[in-house]
Amino acid sequence: MSASPAIRGFVTSMILDAARALPEESRRRVFALVPAPTLALIESTSRLGWIPMEESMKLTDALHGVLGNPGYRRFFSRLADRLIDAPLLHSLFDAAVRLFGLTPQALFKWSTHAWDQAFRHIGRLTYQLQHQGPNGGRIDMVWEGIPPLMLRGGTFEESLAGTFEMFLRRVSREGHVHMRPAPASEKSRRVYEVTWK
């Protein structure tokens, strides 16, 4: 039996805080869908503790359902901007910027290391540079070995796309994040094509 997917307490706590900051009607609709024991678990887990992904997704699925795809991706893109400054990730981020500069390549390489700090047993994220030049570039971010839970309803897929959009904003680049459709033979694999100019 494979280990259960989990997420760091500080990540889910920050998602909860962002959900509580939504406009009143959206906030009311989201929290009507989240079980009280899930909220209690999120609130009682230490920042470095682990929360079962199934519990965390009761909150993110509710956000996704209420906000819809574009709204949820925007919500998560703004949240990711704050997550990158969280103590556990910020030192890794600073080190990447010092070593490689504030470039799309540096941030996307960094994300594969931050992945292991924020998640466990949800698959592997890899960076593949496809093209770079003075007029832009393209990176493929490949997520492999994905447990079925993580693909439920597209919630995590959209949050990851929103995070990648934030990376482009963080380096002041115009770009696009496109999730390539997965062939039937690759159900546990997703490729995010990131282009910028």
Nearest to 167 by CA among 110, 95, 99, 98: 110
**pTM attached to this predicted model:** 0.89
pLDDT in the model for residue 110: 82
Q: What are the structure tokens assigned to 197, written together?
A: 């100019």
Q: Going by C-beta distance under 8 Å and a sequence separation of 6 or more, which residues neighbour residue 10?
A: 47, 48, 86, 88
Q: 47-78: b or e for each residue (b if 16 or more CB lie within 10 Å)?
A: eeebbbbebbbbbbbbbbebbeeeebbebbbe
Contacts of residue 148, Cβ cutoff 8 Å, sequence gap at least 6 = 188
CB 80 within 8 A of CB 52: no
What pLDDT was estimated at residue 106?
83
13 residue type, one letter: S
Q: Which domains does the chain have, with CATH numbers?
A: 6-196 (3.90.1520.10)
Q: What's the one-letter identity of residue 197? A: K
- The owner of tokens 């994905």 is 146
pLDDT of residue 84: 79
**Cβ neighbours of residue 56 under 8 Å, at least 6 residues apart?**
7, 11, 12, 15, 42
- What residues contact residue 184 under an 8 Å CB cut-off, 6+ apart? none
pLDDT tens-digit profile, the chain (197 residues): 458 999 999 999 999 999 999 999 999 999 999 999 999 999 999 999 999 999 999 999 999 999 999 999 999 999 988 887 777 667 777 777 777 777 888 889 888 988 988 999 999 999 999 998 888 899 999 999 999 999 989 999 999 999 999 999 988 889 999 998 778 788 899 999 999 99
Determine the pLDDT at residue 13.
95
Q: How confident is the model at residue 1, as a pLDDT?
A: 41
